[in-house]
Copies of this chain bind each other. A is one copy, B any other.
Amino acid sequence: MSLITVGTMAFDAIETPFGKVDKITGGSALYVAYAASNFVKPVQQISIIGDDFPIEEMDELKSRGVQLDGVEIVKDKKSFFWSGRYHEDMNSRDTLITDLNVLADFKPVVPDSYQGAEFLMLGNLHPQTQLSVIKQMKERPKLIAMDTMNFWMDIAMDDLNTVLKEVDMLIINDAEARQLTGMFSLVKAAKSILAMGPKYLIIKKGEHGALLFDNDSVFFAPALPLEDVFDPTGAGDTFAGGFIGHLAKTGDISFENMKRGIIVGSAMASFCVEKFGATRLKEINNGDINNRIQVFKDLVSFEIELD
């Protein structure tokens, strides 16, 4: 099975209560690729970067089975740059700078070599951009998942509604689910979103875990209780990458297997937050991942006999 991931590759400047970095590689597609490539090869990346993006990062990705044919490199232009500062609770942050740079002209092209991919992960981009990728697929992938954000709900809700009808799964956070539906109850918001098009919905609650919904069922997985969350940047994309990477590895899109995907994604996200940016994701191996999944099993498993 193969997986296409569409999204940003960027430089981030990050400040947390534990420290700061001025320039570290990031972006949604980068996190998805580092997470998913543990489970499925190839990961077929579609993104746009300036000629300032480090060759070493590209080589690192390639060495993990990430194909970069779909990554456009724009000469004499800068890569997307984001800067943010986290509050003490690590659940909220202020965006300080957003320099779109090359991202302003991003018109993703699906390379011929990517055609036939069974899984498609659409990172947070303009809904029209997301839709253009779906339309380029000659054969419909087995599963199309997408992310989005409040910004598109504010300025492009019609386009967002259109692309929602074309995807199988939406992966968003709790605040986004509430804004998208105007409903405070996440259970009600989920029903409303499932009526907009997607058959499956994941609502990410940050340190409070994640919920998976379809029309019949709901599944919950906690985030790992950690001594320190060092840097949450990219944790949501890493979660999505681990999730869809597991689905692509197994080729199984049953609800039962999506539950496993949620656990895998949660495990990957728990690594991501341990160091700045994607640093920790580059250090871990299969043994580390399996150990972490076991920690999740121990955290939530119980046996109970009903009278």
Contact = CB atoms under 8 A, between A and B. Distances in A.
Contacts of A293: 304, 306
A304 B290 CA distance: 10
Copies of this chain, tallied across the complex: 2
Nearest to A206: B208
Contacts of A187: 225-227
A184 B89 CA distance: 8
A259 interface: yes
Nearest to A249: B307
A197 interface: no
Contact of A205 (B184, B188, B208, B302): B208
Interface in A258-307: 259-260, 262-264, 286, 290, 293-294, 297-304, 306-307
A71 interface: no
Contacts of A211: 225
Contacts of A184: 88-89
A225 B221 contact: no
Given A187-B225, A209-B222, A220-B222, A290 B302 contact: no
Nearest to A219: B299
A26 B265 CA distance: 42
Nearest to A222: B220
19 contacts: A88-B184, A89-B184, A185-B227, A187-B226, A187-B227, A188-B228, A211-B225, A219-B299, A219-B300, A220-B299, A222-B222, A260-B302, A260-B303, A263-B302, A293-B306, A294-B306, A297-B304, A300-B300, A301-B301
Q: Which 8 A-B pairs have the closest CB atoms?
A: A259-B302, A208-B208, A290-B306, A220-B222, A187-B227, A260-B304, A187-B225, A300-B300
Interface of A: 88-89, 184-188, 205, 208-209, 211, 217-222, 225-229, 256, 259-260, 262-264, 286, 290, 293-294, 297-304, 306-307
